[in-house]
Amino acid sequence: MSEEDRLPVTALLGFGTMGRALAAGLLAKGLATPKVLRVGARRPDAARAHAEPLELVAMPPDEAARGAEILVLAVKPRDVAGLLQRLREAGALDHHPLVISIAAGVRTASLADQAPGCALVRAMPNTPCAIGKGVTVICAGPGAEAHHLDLARRMFGCLGAVLELDEKHMDTVTGLSGSGPAFIYLVLEAMAEGAVMRGMPRAVALELAARVALGASEMLLATGRHPASLRDDVTTPAGCTIAGLLALEDGRIRSVLARGVETAAKVAGELAS
Ligand SMILES: NC(=O)c1ccc[n+]([C@@H]2O[C@H](COP(=O)([O-])OP(=O)(O)OC[C@H]3O[C@@H](n4cnc5c(N)ncnc54)[C@H](OP(=O)(O)O)[C@@H]3O)[C@@H](O)[C@H]2O)c1
């Protein structure tokens, strides 16, 4: 990758699960080098154990933010206001960097109050980003122009697919694709247990269930067909699949999963308050 295609100086503020996944993806894809990627941590000494294997330097957040063109807020929603206050007081926002927040439930209007004059982008990645198979939804906030969104698209593109939506959908995105991996893990565990009950070794059952989910998802994305139509293909009249599907519908699986996403989305909207 040529020098001009790489990210400008970027500070990752918060180096937990998501901050580390983002750093690993950016470095692996060559979109950033350790020279331009800074780690801003509340406890730099503790962060060093994770930063040094990536050849990154951990420092206090205001030091990391000073002069950086992009700041990524990767702290818990409740920590965003305190972090931005610290940056403001240290003058680390005076150069008006692009601020990309991945914090669930934190609106760009509230970020704009706390980071005046900065261009703001909100993003919602998910944990499969750690292995480059995630999905991130981005949305523009105050001050964000096309080139800012392009930077965010390139940044999260290192970690999987990127979609752009209006901010009004971001809590729903959090409930669907942010929390979604946990829901799928539960479904996979439950499906595997059905096979374990019939005597299949647990590890084989889990691998089979995971590969089924992978194949079915790729089939849906590749064909663009509706899930109901794909389901019809495997549902022979009087066969075993229709018998299994009816048992699932008896357990109200459809509304249970839909309500799970809806409930997670509602809670996401309350996380920052
Ligand atoms: N995990 C997910 O699946 C997921 C998915 C999408 C979006 N998100 C969003 O990503 C954000 C981070 O989540 P996470 O799972 O990575 O959380 P995490 O593992 O708890 O990491 C958060 C990190 O932020 C650090 N921190 C707190 N205050 C700080 C400050 N003032 N300056 C610098 N660092 C500070 C914490 O340091 P200490 O160790 O010192 O507390 C911790 O290392 C959240 O807002 C979440 O909503 C998460």
CATH of the domain at 148: 3.40.50.720
- For residue 124, tell me if it sits in a domain: yes
Is the predicted pLDDT of residue 3 greater than 90, yes or no?
no
**Can you give the residue range of the structural domain that contains 248?**
180-268
Q: Helix, strand, or coil here: 140? A: strand
Burial of residue 181 (CB within 10 Å: 0-12, 13-18, 19+) is middle
Ligand 1 surroundings by CB, under 6 angstroms: 13-19, 40-43, 61, 74-77, 79, 82-83, 102-104, 124-127, 178
What pLDDT, in 10s, does the model give residues 162-174? 999 999 999 999 9
Give backbone dihedrals phi and psi of 35, rounded to 5 degrees, phi first.
-65, -35
> Which tokens go with 64?
């990391």
The single-letter code of the amino acid at 132 is G
**What is the b/e burial string over 40-75, where b = at least 16 CB atoms within 10 angstroms of the residue's CB?**
bbbebeebbebbeebebbbbebbbbbbebebbbbbb
Give the pLDDT score at 203.
98
End-to-end, the C-alpha distance of the chain in Å comes to 42
Give the pLDDT score at 4.
76
Asked if residues 171 and 140 have their Cβ atoms less than 8 Å apart, the reply is no
- For residue 175, tell me if it sits in a domain: no
Instruction: Pick 93 or 1 by higher pLDDT.
Output: 93
Based on the domain organization, do 132 and 190 belong to the same domain?
Answer: no
Based on the domain organization, do 199 and 90 belong to the same domain?
Answer: no
- For residue 273, tell me if it sits in a domain: no
What's 187's domain CATH number?
Answer: 1.10.3730.10
Based on the domain organization, do 128 and 187 belong to the same domain?
Answer: no
- For residue 235, tell me if it sits in a domain: yes
> Which tokens go with 9?
């100086």
Is the predicted pLDDT of residue 1 greater than 80, yes or no?
no
Based on the domain organization, do 260 and 131 belong to the same domain?
Answer: no
Based on the domain organization, do 120 and 84 belong to the same domain?
Answer: yes
Alpha carbon of 81 to ligand 1 centroid (Å): 13
Is the predicted pLDDT of residue 119 greater than 80, yes or no?
yes
Q: Compute the CA torsion angle 242, 246, 247, 248 (nearest 10 deg).
A: 100
Give the pLDDT score at 2.
76
Based on the domain organization, do 222 and 128 belong to the same domain?
Answer: no
Nearest residue (CA) to ligand 1, atom 17: 16
Based on the domain organization, do 153 and 244 belong to the same domain?
Answer: no
Tally of domains in the chain = 2
Based on the domain organization, do 15 and 123 belong to the same domain?
Answer: yes
State the chain's mean pLDDT as an integer: 96
Based on the domain organization, do 38 and 77 belong to the same domain?
Answer: yes
Find the mean pLDDT for residues 94-99. 97
Q: Helix, strand, or coil here: 255? A: helix
What pLDDT, in 10s, does the model give residues 234-251? 999 999 999 999 999 999
Measured from the Cα of 47, ligand 1's closest atom is: 43
pLDDT above 90 covers a percentage of the chain that reads 95
pLDDT band at 52 (very low <50, low <70, confident <90, very high): very high
pLDDT band at 272 (very low <50, low <70, confident <90, very high): confident
What pLDDT, in 10s, does the model give residues 155-211? 999 899 999 999 999 999 999 999 999 999 999 999 999 999 999 999 999 999 999
Nearest residue (CA) to ligand 1, atom 48: 18
